[in-house]
Structure 1
Amino acid sequence: MLLEFIAIIAAGFGLAGIVLSINIALRRRLPQWIVPAAAGAGMLLMAIWLEYSWLDRTTATFPDGVEVASTNQVRSWYRPWTYVVPLTNRLIAVDHRFDRRHADVPGQVLTRVILAGRWEPMRQYGVVFDCNLDRRADLLDEVELDHGGQLKNANWVRLSADDPVMQAACGR
């Protein structure tokens, strides 16, 4: 966050410096308000670029085997440009590097789910998806796996058949 703040300030100074140089080259024919307006425009444009590039910059850091399953797009009245192009501020990814299947229960897959949000810490947790019955169970402290591959004390949550996270985990 601090680095983005520094980048926004630097963009403001940079664009103001370019406009000031142009004004000097034109022998100060531009109005005086143009330099502070350029500084404000540079800061606003940099903030917008940082907001819209967040998803690409975040997913670029993911290793091979991590698949983005779902994103959340928002529109805000205080960001009127988001009505033209919605802003992505959260994502859910499935980390296939941790996929495990039990031989006795081939319709279930244990995997790791990654939750990431703009200005939020990234979270990871284990989930078992039942691909045949369209449900999931989050792996909490009391959940156990018996010898037959069945979960004990699991709280199963029913999902729709077209749930994007389940489809990514099950490989549909």
Structure 2
Amino acid sequence: MFLELVATFIAGIAGAGLMLLLSRVTGNRLPRWLVPVAAGGAMLTATIASEYGWYGRTAEAMPDGFEVVQTVENKALYRPWTYVAPYTERFVALDTTSVQTNAALPEQRLANVYFYGRWAPLNRLIVLGDCAQNRRAAITDTIDFSTTGAIEGAEWVTVPADDPLLTALCET
């Protein structure tokens, strides 16, 4: 976040400097108010570029085996350009290398799921998916595994058949 703030200030200085240079080249015929307008425009452009580039940079930097399964786009009144093109504010990634199965319960899968968010810390959750019954549960401290491998104490959530997380979990 600090580096993005520094980049925004540098963009503002560069925008003002370019407008000052353009003003000098034209013999100071341009109005002086264009210098702060150019600085503000450059800062706004740098901020927008950073917002729209965050998802691509972050998804590209994920380790091998991570698969983006769901994205959440954002629109905001104070960012009117987001109504034309919403930006991705957060997303969910499945660690396909962490998927575990139990021979006694082949329809169930256990895996690490990561929640990425702009300006938010990375969160990890262990998720159990039941492919046969279209449901999933978060693995918490209150869950126990029986001797057969069955889950006891899970709070199952029934999801639609096209749930992106369960679909990706069941395909691996």
Bin of the TM-score, shorter chain as denominator length: over 0.9
Q: 3-state SS of the aligned residue for 1:53?
A: helix
Match in the other structure for 1:44: 44
Q: CA deviation at 1:108?
A: 0.7
Unaligned runs of 5+ in 2: none
Match in the other structure for 1:130: 130
Match in the other structure for 1:151: 151
Q: CA deviation at 1:147?
A: 2.8
Give the letter for the 1:116 counterpart: Y
Match in the other structure for 1:80: 80
| 2:126 maps to 1:120 | no
Give the letter for the 1:112 counterpart: N
Q: C-alpha deviations, 1:27-55, integer Å up to 9, x for none?
A: 11111111110000000001111111111
In 2, Cα distance between equivalents of 1:166 and 1:33? 56
In 2, Cα distance between equivalents of 1:164 and 1:151? 22
Q: CA deviation at 1:146?
A: 2.2
Give the letter for the 1:151 counterpart: I
Give the letter for the 2:48 counterpart: I
Unaligned runs of 5+ in 1: none
- The aligned length equals 172
Q: CA deviation at 1:14?
A: 0.9
Kindly report which structure 2 residues correspond to 1:29-68, keeping only aligned pairs within 5 A, or say none.
29-68=29-68
Q: CA deviation at 1:142?
A: 1.7
Q: Percent identity?
A: 41
Q: CA deviation at 1:102?
A: 0.7
Match in the other structure for 1:20: 20
Q: 3-state SS of the aligned residue for 1:121?
A: strand
Give the letter for the 2:119 counterpart: W
Q: 3-state SS of the aligned residue for 2:133?
A: coil
Match in the other structure for 2:161: 161
Q: C-alpha deviations, 1:86-139, integer Å up to 9, x for none?
A: 121111111111110111111111001111111111100101100110001111
In 2, Cα distance between equivalents of 1:57 and 1:51? 10
